[in-house]
Amino acid sequence: DRAIRKYLVDILKELGRKQILMIGRHISDSRWYVVRNIITILGESGSEEALPYMEKVTDHKQLQIRQEVVKGLINIGGKKAAVLLTRFVNDPDFDVQLSAIRGLTVVHGAGRTEAKALTDFLENRPVKKKENTLTIEIIKVLAKIGDRDAAEFLKRYLRIRWWRARAPQAELKAMAEPAIEEIKRRVGDAGRAS
């Protein structure tokens, strides 16, 4: 019964804040929905103690589990969670990728390492209309967490190549210019401005 299951999960969320080890031991259960519920509880605990358990299922074949891991990592936050979020940039599911990328803008602790993972992802990414959604989201994230290397990387989008479709290139250029300026402003004042 879904209603009873939700009620039990809500109770476990309250208890789970102090019982990470006990709950985390069940992360390898063969029932995907049990694992998803465990991840939900661990994620809502907000505790970094939950991260090793969540890391074990970052490449789980069940989509719902990966989605829940991303939500949990965003909720927990911190440098370790940010590093784990970058693993989902290459996820086979577009929505998981997008959630993880957007999550990096709100997770405290995301910085140079995560920016490098994002630029590595973009390195050989084609500039095409259907590919631009993730590229644009990454540019937005780099504006918030990127460093000088990220700003230098983004300059590749400022040049329009005549042999490629113009509209997708112009779209990325329009995103890259303010992102570069934002990085320069933020790096210039050593991150003091909000």
The pLDDT profile of the chain, 194 residues, written as one tens digit per residue, is: 778 877 777 776 666 556 787 788 889 999 998 899 889 889 988 889 999 999 999 999 999 999 999 999 999 999 999 999 999 999 999 999 999 999 999 999 899 999 999 999 999 998 888 889 999 999 999 999 999 999 999 999 999 888 888 999 999 999 999 999 999 999 886 655 44
pTM: 0.85
HEC-encoded secondary structure of 84-135? HHHHHHHCCCHHHHHHHHHHHHHCCCCCHHHHHHHHHHHCCCCCCHHHHHHH
- Write out pLDDT tens, residues 138-150: 999 999 999 999 9
Rg for the chain, CA atoms, rounded: 19
Supply the pLDDT for residue 17: 59
